[in-house]
């Protein structure tokens, strides 16, 4: 009995396995992060878009879905071929006034220039730098934009006689205009004019052409020193005495003036295309001449 091996009973406890919790929260978190990324991407795109592009985007979501799906007229405010959805607050019975966004934009810009002119007229009455010279400041709202002209008078020139150096009060007038010009996004054209009296030292090659251009650049420098961004100027030119004011004698003092044109969009585009179109024309003529030369040489080989 002593040699009998004792029986050892081993009891193993079964460990209960917990149910797998799954990754549902990960899916929800991924959806949230994707939505946030899309949101900030849209916000960034909107911040980089122009007013015209934002108007087109808004119009896309206002477009009635039914007319677009039925091959009807698509939105009048957009040239997009992609149909949109949602109610159009501007036109609920489909779209029939296609292309009016250009005229709407043009009207807004005109109203902006009109308001700028009215504001400047009030400034002339209240700002002593302008009020003392209100007879020398001419304002006109034209198709080309808002034209601000600062003219000489018989006994009060804006520049020293025969010089590009502006008088101190001319500096004050130009600096008073800076805050108003800063509020407008439009490009600027600055032109110098003179009367028809010949320049005293014209025999040396310096004439009213150089004088008018020099005065225009002197005015530009005063505006820039006053805080106006130099990038706003699309062109700075001098026209000597070639463009006198209407109903004035060419040698009248009022024709010695500085013209600041706050350009309309159409005039700005016209100016920008002037040299571009000339370059294209020269390129086409060069290609034609080259083809003619090649054709001539090929025929005489």
What is the average pLDDT across 120-133? 95
In this structure, is residue 290 part of a structural domain?
no
Which of 71, 99, 127 is at the close of a domain?
99
Domain with 88, as residue range(s), is 36-99
Domain-embedded: residue 16: no
pLDDT at residue number 205: 79
Is 245 a member of any domain? yes
* 238 and 196 share one domain: yes
Helix (H) or strand (E) holding 24: helix 24-48
138 and 156 in one domain?
A: yes
pLDDT tens-digit readout, 178-212: 999 999 999 999 999 999 998 766 556 789 999 99
pLDDT at 53: 74
Query: Are 164 and 193 contained in the same domain?
Result: yes
Asked if the model's pLDDT at residue 295 lies above 80, the reply is: no
Kindly report which listed range (26-30, 34-38, 127-131) carries the lowest average pLDDT score: 26-30
Distance CA(246)–CA(26), nearest Å, equals 77
Integer Cα distance of 84 and 101 in angstroms: 17
204 and 239 share one domain: yes
Res 159 pLDDT > 70: yes
Residues 95 and 113 in one domain: no
Q: Are residues 119 and 255 in the same domain?
A: yes
Shared domain for 61 and 140, answered yes or no, is: no
- The domain boundary residue, chosen from 60, 77, 99: 99
Based on the domain organization, do 114 and 145 belong to the same domain? yes
The total domain count for the chain is: 2
Q: What is the reported pTM?
A: 0.61
Same domain as 125, residue 65? no
Q: Is residue 113 domain-shared with residue 193, that is, in the same domain? A: yes
> Are 139 and 246 part of one and the same domain?
yes
Listed residues 99, 125, 153: the one ending a domain:
99
CATH number at residue 213: 3.30.1330.60
* 115 shares its domain with 217: yes
Name which residue leads in pLDDT, 243 or 109.
Answer: 243
Is 96's pLDDT higher than 50? no
Mean pLDDT for the chain overall: 81
Residue 298 — very low, low, confident or very high, per pLDDT cuts 50/70/90? low
CA distance 111 to 1: 119
How large is the average pLDDT for residues 61-71?
Answer: 55
Percent of the chain past pLDDT 70, that is, above it, reads 68
Alpha-carbon radius of gyration of the chain? 36
Do the domain assignments include residue 283? no
- pLDDT tens readout for residues 231-256: 999 999 999 999 999 999 999 999 99
In a domain, 258, yes or no: yes
Can you give the pLDDT at residue 77?
46
Best mean pLDDT range from 45-49, 76-80, 86-90: 45-49
Q: For residue 112, give the nearest of 63, 157, 146 by alpha carbon.
A: 146
- Across the range 124-147, mean pLDDT stands at 95
In a domain, 197, yes or no: yes
Apex CA 245: angle with CA 243 and CA 248, to 5°?
120
Whether the pLDDT of residue 117 is over 70: the answer is yes
Decide if 287 is inside a domain: no
Q: 235 in a domain, yes or no? A: yes
* pLDDT for the residue 85: 46
Could you tell me which residues come within 8 angstroms of residue 152 by beta carbon, excluding any fewer than 6 positions away? Answer: 136, 158, 159, 253, 254, 255, 256, 257
What confidence category does residue 16 fall into, taking pLDDT thresholds of 50, 70 and 90? low
């Amino acid at each position: 009995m002593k040699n009998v091996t004792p029986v050892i009973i081993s009891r193993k406890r079964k460990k209960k396995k917990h149910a797998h919790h799954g990754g549902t929260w990960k899916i929800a978190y991924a959806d949230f992060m994707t939505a946030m990324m899309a949101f900030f991407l849209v916000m960034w795109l909107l911040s980089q878009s122009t007013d015209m592009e934002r108007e087109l985007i808004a119009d896309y979501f206002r477009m009635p879905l039914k007319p677009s799906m039925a091959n009807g007229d698509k939105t009048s405010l957009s040239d997009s071929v992609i149909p949109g959805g949602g109610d159009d607050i501007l036109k609920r019975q489909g779209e029939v006034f296609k292309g009016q966004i250009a005229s709407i934009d043009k009207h807004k810009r005109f109203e902006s220039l009109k308001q700028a002119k009215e504001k400047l007229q009030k400034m002339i009455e209240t700002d002593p730098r302008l009020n003392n010279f209100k007879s020398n400041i001419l304002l006109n709202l034209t198709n080309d934009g808002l034209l601000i002209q600062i003219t000489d008078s018989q006994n009060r020139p804006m520049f020293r006689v025969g010089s590009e150096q502006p008088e101190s009060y001319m500096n004050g007038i130009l600096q008073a205009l800076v805050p108003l010009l800063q509020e407008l996004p439009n490009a600027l054209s600055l032109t110098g004019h003179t009367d028809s009296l010949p320049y005293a030292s014209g025999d040396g090659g310096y004439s009213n052409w150089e004088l008018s251009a020099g005065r225009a650049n002197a005015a530009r420098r005063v505006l820039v020193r006053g805080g106006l961004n130099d990038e706003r100027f699309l062109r700075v030119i001098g026209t000597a005495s070639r463009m006198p004011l209407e109903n004035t004698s060419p040698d009248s003092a009022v024709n010695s003036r500085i013209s600041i044109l706050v350009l309309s969009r159409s005039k700005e585009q016209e100016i920008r295309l002037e040299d571009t179109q000339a370059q294209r024309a020269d390129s086409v003529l060069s290609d034609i001449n080259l083809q003619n030369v090649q054709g001539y040489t090929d025929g005489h080989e």
